[in-house]
Amino acid sequence: MNLRRTLLTTRRILQQLRHDPRTIGLLLLVPSALVGLLAWSLTNNPGAFDSIGPKLLGVFPLIVMFLVTSVITLRERSVGTLERLFTLPLTKAEFVAGYAFAFGGVAVIQSFLVSILSYTWYGLAHQGVPWRVSVVALCAGLLGTAFGLALSALAHSEFQAVQFMPAFILPQLLLCGLVIPVGQLPTVLRIVADVMPMTAAMHAIAPLQSNWYYVGQFAIMIAYVLVALVVGATTLRRTTK
């Protein structure tokens, strides 16, 4: 894997975003605005935002980044630039890593913004340390990017890619502990929930656990990011049947 070609690809993707200020605005502001809306809606329930807010910090970036990444990579395929790149000395790993860096960077800014706003303006008082919540938000953004890349290889149209969102994300949303604590799920579902990336994000936010517990949860999320990137790189097809 050549780092120069990877970073050229990252720069090219960021240039594309720069020419599209509306997308930048949506990417950075939507998660922040959603968490703000939640804080506002819970004004009359003291303490409620402090328990739900951090969890959604781990959910919104995942959804936003998943959608954006899967649609934009699919667009490369439909306009033919992916096929052109495959006739050039760019490897699939360089292509995927280029995207991961570009959108990983966006996820960093996005998570930073949503965390800062939560702890200041929205008045979040969480029993955990703020940096841990910020890292969870970042991991969630990276998970969204990595899974978006992996699943866009399976989708044949932008229409299908958008439908992967409810198929892939909503089950996790139902089982990750947001609706009902994971411990109260039927056994089979609990086993499924325990291995899902979004559940790891919820666990990493939970207060009052040992340091090793948190390290373990972050390791699960990073492992999912890496596996999804490898899957994304291997399922890209250079040839059509």
Partner 1 sequence: MQPTLDVVNLCVKRQHNEILKSISFTAAPGELIGLLGPSGSGKSTLMRSLLGVQAITSGSVQVLQSPPGSPSLRGLIGYMAQNSAIYLDLTVEENLRYFAGVLQHPYSEVTRVKEVVALTSFSNRLVSSLSSGERTRVSLGITLLGSPPVLILDEPTVGLDPILRRDLWRTFEDLAGTGTTVMVSSHVLDEAARCARLLLLRNGSILFDNSPAQLLAVAGATSYDSAFERVIEEAE
* Cβ at position 18, least distance to partner 1 in Å: 9
Smallest distance, Å, CB 1 to partner 1? 13
DSSP, residue by residue, 55-114: HHHTTHHHHHHHHHHHHHHHHHHHHTHHHHHHTTT--HHHHHHHHHHHHHHHHHHHHHHH
CB of 87 to partner 1, least distance (A): 5
Residue 10 vs 115, nearer CB to partner 1: 10
Contact 173, 139 (CB under 8 A): no
In the bound state with partner 1, the residue whose beta carbon lies nearer, of 131 and 241, is 241
Q: Would you say 28 or 48 has its CB closer to partner 1? A: 28
Closest contact distance (angstroms) between CB of 5 and partner 1 is 6
Q: In angstroms, what is the minimal distance from the CB of 69 to partner 1?
A: 16
- 189 burial (CB, 10 Å; 0-12 / 13-18 / 19+) is middle
Residue type, position 181, single letter:
P
Residues in contact with partner 1 by CB under 8 A are 4-5, 8-9, 11-12, 15-16, 19-20, 79-81, 83-90, 238-241
From residue 46, how far is each of 101, 121, 137 by CA, in Å?
39, 16, 23
Angle at 71 between CA 69 and CA 75, to 5 degrees: 115
Least distance CB 29 / partner 1 (angstroms): 20
Residue 156 Cα to chain centre, angstroms = 21
Among residues 16 and 41, whose Cβ is nearest to partner 1?
16
| Residue whose CB is less far from partner 1, 52 or 71 | 71
Cβ atoms of 122 and 35 closer than 8 Å: yes
* Token pair in block for residue 165: 């969102």
Q: Identify residue 119 by its one-letter amino acid code.
A: Y
